[in-house]
Amino acid sequence: MTDQKLQVVALGGLGEFGMNMTAIRYGNDIIVVDSGMMFPEPELLGVDLVMPDLTFLKENQEQVRALILTHGHEDHIGAVPYFLSDLDVPIYGTAFTLALVERRLEEHELDQEPRLNIVKPKEIIEIGPFKIEFINVTHSIVSAVALAITTPLGVIIHTGDFKVDPTPTDNELFDLHTLADYGKRGVLLLLSDSTNSDRPGYTESERAVRPRMEEIFNRAERRVVVSCFSSSIHRIQLVLDLAEEYGRSVAVIGRSMVSVTEIAHSLGLLSIPDGILLRPQDAMNLAPDKVAFLISGTQGEPMSALSRVAVDNHKHVSVEQGDTVVLSSRIIPGNEKAIFRMIDHMARRGADVLYGSMNPPLHVSGHASIEEMKLVLNLVRPRYFMPIHGEFRQLSKHARLAEHLRFAGLEESFVMESGDLLEIDHRGARKAGKVTVGRVCIDSGSVDDVVQEVVIRDRRHLSEDGIVLPIIAINRHSGRIETLPEIVSRGFAVAEEGPEFLEKARQVVAKTLEGSNQEEKTDWGVMKEKIRADLKRYIVKETSRRPLIMPVILEV
Q: Which candidate in 34, 165, 193, 465 is catalytic? A: 193
Burial class of residue 527 (count of CB atoms within 10 Å of its CB; 0-12, 13-18, 19+): buried
Tell me the chain's radius of gyration from C-alpha atoms: 25
Q: Is 440 helix (H, G, I), strand (E, B) or coil?
A: strand
Q: What distance in Å separates the CA atoms of residue 285 and residue 482, rounded to the nearest whole number?
A: 38
Cross-strand partners of 133: 124, 148
367 annotated active-site: yes
Count of Cβ atoms closer than 10 Å to residue 486 Cβ? 15
**Helix or strand (DSSP H, E) at 555:** strand 552-555
- How many residues make up the chain in this entry? 556
Q: Which candidate in 73, 367, 398, 461 is catalytic? A: 367
**CA 176 from centroid of its chain's CA atoms:** 27
Among residues 273, 307, 308, 311, which one has the least CA distance to residue 292? 273
Going from the C-alpha of 311 to that of each of 83, 255, 482, the distances in angstroms are 37, 18, 22
* Amino acid type, 156: I
Give the Cα-Cα-Cα angle 243, 278, 263 (nearest 5 degrees). Answer: 85
CB 360 within 8 A of CB 209: yes
Catalytic (active-site) positions: 193, 367
